[in-house]
Amino acid sequence: MQGEGPSLGRRCAFARLGGCNLSCRWCDTPYTWDWTGRSDTGIAYDPKKELRAIPYTEVRDHLVGYDVPLVVVSGGEPLSQQTSLYPLVRDLRGSVHDVEIETNGTIAPDPRLAELVRFNVSPKLAHSGDPKNRRIVGNALAAFTEVPGTAFKFVCRTEADLDEVGALVEQYGLHSVWVMPEGRNQAALDRSFARLRDPVIARGWNLTTRLHITMWGDRRGV
């Protein structure tokens, strides 16, 4: 199931890519990039165990075999590999799959890719721990606003985070804004959701939970 954003609850298959140009301390997939233990888990993952190169045709056939209408490409940061990603997406669209790409919004999309997918862009806020000049790239965000169907999804903890979101929305003309509570377990999600629910509605934005956490907790491979 897609657990977040506009397609929440849709049956899907995931393709998860390794490597990221950011280092969010609360990241829920640090095993895709954290080789030094910088995230909140404190675990230094081994890239030799976590990552492997697979021909895109093999990935394509595996995803098609799930027999679901939607494929979600996540990471890490998928657009770091968008040139290699294009033939996979092209073939999936040719087999009548919808494709979504989850991205942190720091890398402008290849126009060829933008014609085939919907982007779920998740700019990172100050609480991610990265400096603003790394996590907010204006020309990239501007490029995403020109792609039809793009959704902008922000991970928030408190009402104060919404002021930061509002400043980005105004500065870059972001549309289709979604706010998602941060949390790797149900208790943390519930706390954040309770704080955010009413202020998000008052601002006229969309609100999404993390359905996969409700269904399976903080498990890998689901």
Residues 169-191 have a mean pLDDT of 93
- pLDDT of residue 184 exceeding 90, the answer is no
Are 124 and 22 in contact, with CB atoms under 8 Å apart? yes
74 assigned ligand-binding residue: yes
Residues 168-174 have a mean pLDDT of 97
Are 102 and 122 in contact, with CB atoms under 8 Å apart? yes
- pLDDT of residue 20 exceeding 90, the answer is yes
- The per-residue pLDDT for range 189-202, each reduced to its tens digit, is 999 999 999 999 99
124 assigned ligand-binding residue: yes
Find the Cα–Cα–Cα–Cα dihedral 170, 106, 108, 114, rounded to 10°: -80
3-state secondary structure of 122: coil
- pTM equals 0.94
20 assigned ligand-binding residue: yes
Closest listed residue to residue 7, CA positions, set 215, 220, 212, 184:
212
Q: Tokens standing for 72? A: 């979600």
122 assigned ligand-binding residue: yes
3-state secondary structure of 74: strand
12 assigned ligand-binding residue: no
3-state secondary structure of 59: helix
Burial of 206 (0-12, 13-18, 19+ CB in 10 A): middle
Question: 150: how many CB neighbours lie within 10 A of its CB?
Answer: 22
- The per-residue pLDDT for range 119-169, each reduced to its tens digit, is 999 999 999 999 999 999 999 999 999 999 999 999 999 999 999 999 999
84 assigned ligand-binding residue: no
24 assigned ligand-binding residue: yes
Residue tagged 């890998």 (tokens):
220
Give the residues across from 178 on adjacent strands: 153, 206
- The per-residue pLDDT for range 48-85, each reduced to its tens digit, is 999 999 999 999 999 999 999 999 999 999 999 999 99
The confidence score (pLDDT) of residue 197 equals 94
Higher pLDDT: 218 or 191? It is 191
Residues 9-27 have a mean pLDDT of 95
Domains in the chain with CATH codes: 5-216 (3.20.20.70)
Helix axes 82-94, 56-64, angle to 10 degrees: 40
- The per-residue pLDDT for range 24-49, each reduced to its tens digit, is 999 989 999 999 999 999 999 999 99
User: CB under 8 Å to 62, separation ≥6 — which residues?
Assistant: none
76 assigned ligand-binding residue: yes
The confidence score (pLDDT) of residue 96 equals 87
Q: What is the mean pLDDT of the chain?
A: 95
Q: Tell me the range of 111-115, 184-188, 218-222 where mean pLDDT is highest.
A: 111-115
29 assigned ligand-binding residue: yes
3-state secondary structure of 145: helix
